[in-house]
Structure 1
Amino acid sequence: MLQDSLTIRYYQRLTDAMVELWRRGNRYEDIRQYMDGYIACLHHTGALEVYKIHRLEEEVFRFLRDPSNFEIAYPQTQTQTETDFYY
């Protein structure tokens, strides 16, 4: 579990971007490459300590492997009947 606030912020940004890529029709491999690039940038910029980046990578990879994170949730529409109206 991530505990550092900056690491959590990077996790949220990365996973949100991954879901958006999925919604736009990108394949799993494209999302994986995006994730790898993001992690590589964190290494090169020194934005986080190395052990935090490794922990972030583990958590993001776990997120990527879970298919429920990429399901499209359709809102259920409800229809009103005449009995729903109050006169």
Structure 2
Amino acid sequence: MLQDTLTIRHYQQLTDALVELWNRGYRFDDLRMYVDGYLAALRHANVLEPYLIHRLEDEVTRYIYDPSNFENPNPASERDYY
């Protein structure tokens, strides 16, 4: 569980970007590469402590492998209203 506010903010930005990339047609390999690049940039910039980056990586990996995060909700069809 993430508790540091800056780490939570990065988690939210990452997960929002992952859903956006998924909706634009990118798949899991591409998402994983995006996450790897994002985390590498955080490490290089020394924005977060290394243990916080590791926790962020664990949480984002868990997010990626949960299929419910990338399902499109089925819109109700017209016949459901009649």
Deviations 1:49-82 (A, max 9, x none): 1100000000000000100000011333663x6x
Give the alignment's Cα RMSD to 1 decimal.
Answer: 1.2
Match of 2:72 in 1: 72
Match of 1:62 in 2: 62
For structure 1, list consecutive stretches of 5 or more residues without a partner in the other structure: 82-87
Runs of 4+ that moved beyond 6 A: none
Match of 1:45 in 2: 45
For structure 2, list consecutive stretches of 5 or more residues without a partner in the other structure: none
User: Which has a greater percent of helix?
Assistant: 2
**Equivalences, count:** 80
Identical pairs, percent = 60
Match of 1:21 in 2: 21
Deviation at 1:33, TM superposition (A): 0.2
Q: SS state of the match for residue 72, structure 1?
A: coil
Larger CA Rg, structure 1 vs 2: 1
Question: What is the alpha-carbon distance in structure 2 between the residues aligned to residue 65 and residue 8 of structure 1?
Answer: 19
